[in-house]
Amino acid sequence: MYKLTFFLLLLGSFSFAQVNTTKSTIKPNLIVIMTDDMGWADVGFNGCKDIPTPNIDRIANEGVRFEEGYVSFPVCGPSRAGFLTGRYQDRFGFTTNPSIDPNNPISGLPLEEETMAQVLKKVNYNSAIIGKWHMGTHPNFHPLERGFDYFYGFLSGGHNYYPEQLTINDLSEVKRKWQWYRTKIIENRTKVKTDDYLTDELSAAAVNYINKQAEDDQHFMLYLAYNAPHTPLQATKKYLSRFPKITDKKRKTYAAMVSAVDDGVGHVLEALKEKGLDENTIVVFLSDNGGAHNNASDNGPLRGLKGDLFEGGIRVPFAMRWKGTIPEGNSYKKPISSLDIMATIVAQSNVKIDPKRPLDGVNLIPFLTGAEIGPPHDYLFWRKWEQNAMAIRHGNYKLIANKQKQKASPNLYNLLKDKNERIEIGFEKKKISKQLHEKWEQWNSEMKDRVFPTLGQDVWWREKK
Ligand code: CA
């Protein structure tokens, strides 16, 4: 065993040396660690006091913390569709969470769109999704059909964490709403028996995957999609015991769930270090949307929650590390987007994007190294098609109609002076409101209506009987 370890260490050192000498020609790996419904203020790097997150903080401390890191939608499915394509998800009608009917061939990420895994496959990346998929449950939409080479997790939008509760073989056995939270975990296309707390299972699968790619000397993209700390609030004694001082039961369980993720992030970072991959791997951490009303999360000073276009719904804990390339320990203050992750890896891996499906994000690296000093985005846009809600960010201004009633006007805020979006800017700024509204309307005209039935309309398990 020692001999084998020594040999692997030698091999690791050799790869590391190669990375350093030929860095400009080597395609960097990408690991995106996404949490689910985590509050903006629930990481140490955003000032969290009651939940230590030393490993997640390492990503920010050894890289960059984004002060204003946004996602493209305030709930799970559309936010992930935007991240995975690098395009505003409303361009392809992914306006809300889709139905999870496993027999519906249109309810998921439209097949005309290319996922990050499909794009990176063109330059020989190996890609894995570990955790929550949520991009469709019909066989058409299976991760292995959408460019990924490895899948370990579950297809729907949420899941129970205790292994003894995973008693449903697959979605065909579902007889009532939310029962899909109890389906067995799938490895590629096969259900597997799991023994551990789900967050620990996902972390272990991620480490195994990284080790395998390193041993194969294979560049890779890993999308580690934890469902924690999304409800149900479930944690094990190991993690709960870390929070004797938190008396609120919900917050204590939430803290334990975040702590489990933090351990997992630590194992992932250790695996990279052991394999000598630190300097050739971009690591991104973010939440898919802001903290929710039901999981005891904390969005700090930000107004609103998951589901809102106020900052609390769309501004998330967001950090990126690329050792040796991005300066360490900075806080980047200009607005950036989860859509930028795709544009960033596309630029680093020199893959060509189909001009029929242009990206909406930008390559962040020149902005983070200081080569570019302007804002990455002139404008950022959001809409919730079902609620007739809109938002646009331009400089310090944000024009927003959160849940627009008929004929209601959007409100203008200056986020530099008013982080909480409490002070409506009045008449004197009407010109800016009008200009931003026109800009948003122009963008909106390029978007599509919803193309699939929604999760809220789901009754497929009844229809099946
Ligand atoms: Ca979510």
Q: What is the CATH number of the domain that holds 384?
A: 3.30.1120.10
Residue 7: pLDDT band by 50, 70, 90 thresholds?
very low
Residue 19: pLDDT band by 50, 70, 90 thresholds?
very low
What is the rounded CA–CA span in Å between residue 104 and residue 107? 6
Mean pLDDT on 420-442: 88
83 Cα: distance to centroid of ligand 1 (angstroms): 13
- Do the domain assignments include residue 168? yes
Distances 317 to 44, 48, 172, 257, 283 between C-alpha atoms, Å: 10, 11, 36, 16, 14
User: Residue 407: its pLDDT value, please?
Assistant: 58
Same domain, 319 and 365: yes
Candidates 303, 297, 225; CA nearest to 261 is 225
Same domain, 391 and 317: no
Say yes or no to pLDDT of 224 above 80: yes
Residue ranges with strand state E in 105-229 = 126-132, 150-154, 185-187, 190-192, 220-225
- Do the domain assignments include residue 84? yes
Same domain, 364 and 409: no
Mean pLDDT on 144-166: 97
User: Residue 462: its pLDDT value, please?
Assistant: 84
Same domain, 258 and 214: yes
Give the three-state DSSP class for 69: strand
- Do the domain assignments include residue 15? no
User: Residue 428: its pLDDT value, please?
Assistant: 65
Distances 457 to 32, 90, 96 between C-alpha atoms, Å: 31, 19, 12
Mean pLDDT on 211-219: 97
User: Residue 409: its pLDDT value, please?
Assistant: 80
Residue 396: pLDDT band by 50, 70, 90 thresholds?
very high
The domain total for the chain is: 2
- Do the domain assignments include residue 80? yes
- Do the domain assignments include residue 22? no
Residue 12: pLDDT band by 50, 70, 90 thresholds?
very low
Given the residues 76, 159, 219, 377, select the one marked as catalytic. 76
88 Cα: distance to centroid of ligand 1 (angstroms): 17
76 in catalytic set: yes
Same domain, 232 and 254: yes
126 Cα: distance to centroid of ligand 1 (angstroms): 26
Say yes or no to pLDDT of 13 above 70: no
Give the pLDDT confidence of 351-389 residue by residue, as tens digits: 999 999 999 999 999 999 999 999 999 999 999 999 999
Boundary residue ending a domain (369, 401, 436): 369
Same domain, 306 and 187: yes
Give the pLDDT confidence of 94-153 residue by residue, as tens digits: 999 999 999 999 999 999 999 999 999 999 999 999 999 999 999 999 999 999 999 999
The whole model's pTM is what?
Answer: 0.94
Enclosing domain of residue 407: 380-444
User: Residue 231: its pLDDT value, please?
Assistant: 98
| Average of per-residue pLDDT values in the chain | 93
313 Cα: distance to centroid of ligand 1 (angstroms): 10
What is the rounded CA–CA span in Å between residue 38 and residue 328? 24
Same domain, 386 and 363: no
Mean pLDDT on 50-76: 98
Which chain residues have CB less than 5 Å from ligand 1, an ion?
36-37, 76, 288-289
Give the pLDDT confidence of 295-311 residue by residue, as tens digits: 999 999 999 999 999 99
Given the residues 134, 159, 219, 394, select the one marked as catalytic. 134
Residue 430: pLDDT band by 50, 70, 90 thresholds?
confident
Same domain, 156 and 175: yes
Same domain, 341 and 384: no
111 Cα: distance to centroid of ligand 1 (angstroms): 23
Same domain, 357 and 384: no
Q: Are 56 and 285 in contact (CB under 8 A)?
A: yes
Give the pLDDT confidence of 259-278 residue by residue, as tens digits: 999 999 999 999 999 999 99
333 Cα: distance to centroid of ligand 1 (angstroms): 24
Boundary residue ending a domain (327, 345, 369): 369
267 in catalytic set: no
What is the rounded CA–CA span in Å between residue 251 and residue 75? 21
